Structure 1
Amino acid sequence: MKTTADEQDAISHANANAAIDTALALLKTDREAVRAAHWNRLSIAVRRIAVMSANLPKERADDTLNKFTALERGKINVAMRRLMNEMEVISKCMQGGSLPGVCEVHH
């Protein structure tokens, strides 16, 4: 049985779509793996600041990334953006000040 040009075209499109779906699934998995690797490399102190800034228990810092729901991850993301903005203000506030004894001339 011979396939028509239209049937071959449809098969080609179906195969291309399946390949694209597979590639997207792998890409999504790879991105999540990269995120998880970054999370695991951070110190426990930094991870605690992140989860606590979103009002989650500090013990959640020990969790692997896949244990967080999308809502929890979103809350942490928003809280961290807010915290980074506040830390920038703190950084600016801490510039300057006097250094007692540094400029004294000793004879």
Structure 2
Amino acid sequence: MSRYPKAQPISILDTCYDFTKFSSVSVPKISIFFSGGVEVPMAAKGILYVNTISQVCLAFAGNTDDTEVGIFGNTQQKTLQVVYDGVGGKLGFATGGCT
């Protein structure tokens, strides 16, 4: 992403880019890893938050302490089916959800 000019941050989304001069953009492949060896690959819609074409941000916000809570939010889940097993205490993901 270093080839794209930086743009102003949006709130906690501090890694933003200006794509106005580009007809196509190369989005990196990103996966979220959970315990038990579970890998959830993110679609481009789950990696970028588009405010305007001149302000597109990585849809991730860092925290300063590994003990702080991490949020796997609606932006990341846009193209996933999410299954909640409250009784079993498990959570499942599958690609091909809402597109």
TM-score after normalising by structure 1: 0.19
Question: Which structure is richer in relative contact order (CA contacts within 8 A, separation 6 or more)?
Answer: 2
Q: Per residue, is there more helix in 1 or in 2?
A: 1
Q: Per residue, is there more strand in 1 or in 2?
A: 2
Higher-Rg member (1/2): 1
